[in-house]
Structures are given as structure tokens and as C-alpha cells.
Amino acid sequence: MMKRALYLTAPLIAGAIALASPAVANAADVRVTFTNVSPAGSVGTSPLWVGFHNSSFDLFDAGSSASLGVERISEDGNSAPLTTLFAATTLSGIQGTLPSPPAFPGAVRSLDFTGLDLAGENRYFSYASMVVLSNDFFIGNDDAREHDLSVLLSNGGTLSFFVGGNGEVWDAGTEVNDYANSLANGAFGIGGGQSSANQGADEHGFVRLVDSDPYANFLSAHLVPAGYDFAPLQFTSLQAIGRVDIQLLAPVPEPETYAMLLGGLALVGAISRRARARSAV
């Protein structure tokens, strides 16, 4: 009779564990950290927007017009229109914007995300951020599948990559590069600048890599910020602007999971006590 009670209990324990599992089998939690690795005295970046998708979300295409979402984050560092666009077009996506304020050299910003399906619906990572000083420069990935997070499921660790290096800074093509009127002049203690969103002359251009010397115009206009180092700002060198670290967090059961687990164990305990009581008869 004792043997029979044990056989009876084993499937019940399996059932209790199944009950205690989260609703989404592949749900994973990750921490995204952005570090501005630019040399001291050089560029900053607006709060980084990030999205996790199944590859159906394409932030932009080089040689094509930028979306409103890319225009606004590139010109004003405003991720709200991009957030709206992503939500409307990527129903299974998960997204967020790393905390303010903008990250200047050495700054670190982090944000945690929960319930990601890293094997499917949230496998690919996209990001975008304005580069300041600029009128409409941004960092972001053209290739929707460039950053595949499913690797985290096998290595259990961190995926890290540099952004904005090796010429990977984009001009959104939406605002004429006129540094006497670029958004963040005030933050660098120089004249000019803008006072509200979407100012500056429309460029009617396409997204393209920033080439030549993007800041020559600053120098000719005598708009040199104090202590600003133009040398690393040609954007064609290997020097990156930032590093992104995406870290898989240890799964932590949510309070309701604990409650279900305890409930399941109590059920198993009660039944096995009943089984023992019966077998003792």
C-alpha cells in the first residue's frame, strides 16, 4: 500500500510544478545597459530607445526616407513617436526607453525588461538614440536581425556590442545640418540652438551614413564649445560612441508564482497525508 501511495504522489508533484510555472514558457528577464564610451569632451546621446521583436520591425533603411519616429528621435531625442510606431506595428514586441538624462561620456544607463520570448517574438533587438551635438544624427540598426538575443539562452550570460563606431553614425536626412541651429547647443554652452520640437530646415533627404567632417561647419561658424574635442568626432574611425550590454537575469518567481507553488505543495501534502492515512489502515 505504501508503494501505491508513492506512485499516486509523483504525478501530483509534477502537476504542482506545472501549475507553478509562469504562463509564458520561454519568458526571460534581461537588463539593458548603455555606456557612453566616447572620449571625454565629445558627444552625448539622448535616452536610448530599445525594442525587442521577431524581426518584423525595421527601424529604417539606408537610402530611404526616415519614419516620423526616426525623425523625432534624431532631431529632438524624443522617443515617443517611435514608441507609438513600434506599438502599432509590432503587436508582440516589447520596448522601452532607458532613463534620462542624456548620456554624456562615461555615463551609464540601465533598464530591466521582463517576460521576453528570446526564442521567438522578442528574439531581435533594435535601438535608436540621437547624437548630440547634431541636427539629426542618430545611432541605430538598419538590419532588423543584426542583434539576435537567442544566444543568451545558450550562453546564459551577456551579449555586448559597440554602437556608433567604425562609421556607424547616421544622418536621418530630415533636417539640414546647420550647427548654428542644432538642438543641444545650449547644453554645450554655445550660441544658437533650438527652442522647441522639430525646428530647423527640412532636408527632404534619405537616411545615410555621416561622412567627411560633420563638424567643419561648427569651426567655420566659430561655434566651438569650451573643452569640446572634435578629433574623435569624424565618425569614420573605429572609436565607438557607446556599448550596449544585454544581460540575462536569473529567473525570479513572481509573488503569484510562489502562492501557486505553495498551494500546489499544500495540495500534494494533503493528498499524500490522506494516502498515508489510508495505507496505515
Is residue 76 at the binding interface for Ca ion, with CB under 5 A as the rule? Answer: no
Asked if residues 251 and 48 have their Cβ atoms less than 8 Å apart, the reply is no
Is residue 142 at the binding interface for Ca ion, with CB under 5 A as the rule? Answer: yes
Smallest distance from the beta carbon of 98 to Ca ion, in angstroms?
Answer: 22
The span of 156-164, 191-199, 234-242, 255-263 binding Ca ion (CB under 5 A) equals 191-199
Site string for Ca ion, 258-277 (x = CB under 5 A): --------------------
Task: Tell me the C-alpha distance between 190 and 30, whole Å.
Answer: 39
Smallest distance from the beta carbon of 76 to Ca ion, in angstroms?
Answer: 9
Site string for Ca ion, 54-73 (x = CB under 5 A): ----x--x------------
**Which residue, among 143, 142, 190, 197, has the nearest Cα to 175 in the 3D structure?**
197
Smallest distance from the beta carbon of 16 to Ca ion, in angstroms?
Answer: 47
The span of 49-57, 111-119, 139-147, 248-256 binding Ca ion (CB under 5 A) equals 139-147
Residue 82 zone, left/alpha/beta (φ > 0; ψ -120 to 50; rest): alpha
Asked if residues 71 and 174 have their Cβ atoms less than 8 Å apart, the reply is yes
The residues with which 53 forms a beta bridge, in sequence order, are 124
Asked if residues 104 and 184 have their Cβ atoms less than 8 Å apart, the reply is no
Smallest distance from the beta carbon of 85 to Ca ion, in angstroms?
Answer: 14
Shorter beta-carbon distance to Ca ion: residue 115 or 167: 167
Measured between alpha carbons, how far is residue 213 from residues 53, 172, 220, 273 in Å? 35, 16, 12, 78
The span of 23-31, 183-191, 192-200, 209-217 binding Ca ion (CB under 5 A) equals 192-200
SS3 109: strand
> Contact with Ca ion (CB under 5 A): which of 67, 74, 177, 239?
177
Number of residues that bind Ca ion (CB under 5 A): 10
Sign of dihedral through CA atoms 141, 146, 150, 155? negative
Task: Tell me the C-alpha distance between 25 and 9, whole Å.
Answer: 24
The span of 83-91, 168-176, 251-259, 269-277 binding Ca ion (CB under 5 A) equals 168-176
- Tell me how far the alpha carbon of residue 89 is from its chain's centroid: 17
Asked if residues 244 and 33 have their Cβ atoms less than 8 Å apart, the reply is yes
The span of 150-158, 165-173, 212-220, 233-241 binding Ca ion (CB under 5 A) equals 165-173
Q: List residues binding Ca ion (CB under 5 A).
A: 58, 61, 136, 142, 171, 174-175, 177, 198, 203
